[in-house]
Amino acid sequence: MRRITQHPILDIPERGRLTFFYNGQPMEAREGDTIAAALTDQGIRVFRETHKRHEPRGLFCAVGQCTDCIMVVNGRPNVRACVTRVEAGMRVETQRGLGENADENI
């Protein structure tokens, strides 16, 4: 895991763990994590590929204002991973291009 577990000033409480699926593989996350935090903790930094050039994109603004972290979540494309909380059993997939049923050019 790549997260801060101890801090000299802040208390970092232990939280429950859950399992979700990333590109079909089981992953562990902490309750309350965003999808982006859970994936970053597992060393995953690329969340999607752009439509035209197929360039990798990942966490950029981390506040839901850009589209760099959009992913397919439970079959739904264009979900912002930085502001969406991970849930037990959730299926998260790397988004390639616009994603199914997407009607805007991202």
CATH code at position 73: 3.10.20.440
CB 86 within 8 A of CB 20: yes
| 67-87: average pLDDT | 96
pLDDT in tens, 55-73: 999 999 989 999 999 999 9
Nearest to 91 by CA among 77, 106, 104, 105: 77
SS3 43: coil
pLDDT in tens, 31-58: 999 999 999 999 999 999 999 999 999 9
Position 29 in a domain:
yes
Range of the domain at 60: 17-96
Predicted local confidence at residue 8, as pLDDT: 87
Query: In 10-69, which ranges are continuous DSSP H helix?
Result: 35-41
Position 102 in a domain:
no
Position 86 in a domain:
yes
Position 84 in a domain:
yes
Position 70 in a domain:
yes
The number of folded domains in the chain is 1
pTM for the complete prediction?
Answer: 0.85
For residues 5 and 33, the model is more confident at 33
